[in-house]
Amino acid sequence: MKVALIAHRYYGDKDSTIKHTTQMIQKAAKDGAQLVVLQELHQGAYFCQDESVGKFDLANDYEKDKIYWSNVAKDNKVVLVTSLFEKRAEGLYHNTSVVFDSDGKEAGKYRKMHIPDDPNFYEKFYFTPGDLGFRPIDTSLGRLGVLVCWDQWYPEAARLMALSGAKILIYPTAIGWFDGDDEATKSAQLEAWVAVQRGHAVANNLPVIAVNRVGFESDECGGGIRFWGNSFVFDAQGVELFRSNSTDEIVQIVDIDMKKCEEVRRWWPFLRDRRVESYGDITKRFID
């Protein structure tokens, strides 16, 4: 499978950013991409750095946005993984990844399940936790296990996608550093982020794709987030196929050997040897 990772900075407004993203998708398609993965909330700024009721208006065009990206997928004949701000009803909003097949039809969607609430990542103010579960999305390229950002840290999410037949794990992402942190702290954060997702690849014998934003985006208090890029692909055995740097935008095509998943699972039969009768406590918040 030829997968395109597209990561970019915010271009000052929604229209300019979408135009730039569309041009990057067109380039990826011309270069042979079959699957295109975009970053988290790719249509504009990462707006969760503060809590503002006015920013809920960003979700008002959710249905129009879906039509736009559906046409982009169809025009470029690619399976497209988007990340949109969904207004489901009055007062009910989700961080939603909508997947469009190469004919433009909506293949399915995933609503972000794990919602963070940290300085400059005030997502609980905006997003209701997803209610669709950890269910893969069927496309013409196979069954995609789409998760979003904070979901990256949870092995349960990756495992449940694998158990539901996902052929690949995909994480649109928005994560970065605060400039005030020292270099050792920044390095530790980044490498932990990479390591946990590489672990998902190994433990589930599945390729993993993460596409992260780049560039600095200021908040309203004189600070902000410097998104650390480092988008990557690991294969089903945890071998690094690609990793970007921390600053550059990318339109990167990576060839993934999808047949390797079955081969690796025959060598390392982790799913066969699970002791499912002994895992009941995993559903508890804490074991006394």
Q: Which residues are catalytic?
A: 40, 112, 149
Q: Tokens 């908040």 correspond to what residue?
A: 219
To the nearest 5 percent, what fractions of the chain are helix, strand and coil?
35, 25, 40
178 DSSP 8-state letter? -
Helices 155-163/183-204 angle, 10° precision: 20
Longest dimension (CA), the chain: 56
Paired with 210 in beta bridges are: 171, 232
CB < 8 Å & 24+ apart, contacts of 138-141? 138/107, 138/108, 139/79, 139/99, 139/101, 139/107, 140/79, 140/101, 140/102, 140/103, 141/1, 141/34, 141/35, 141/79
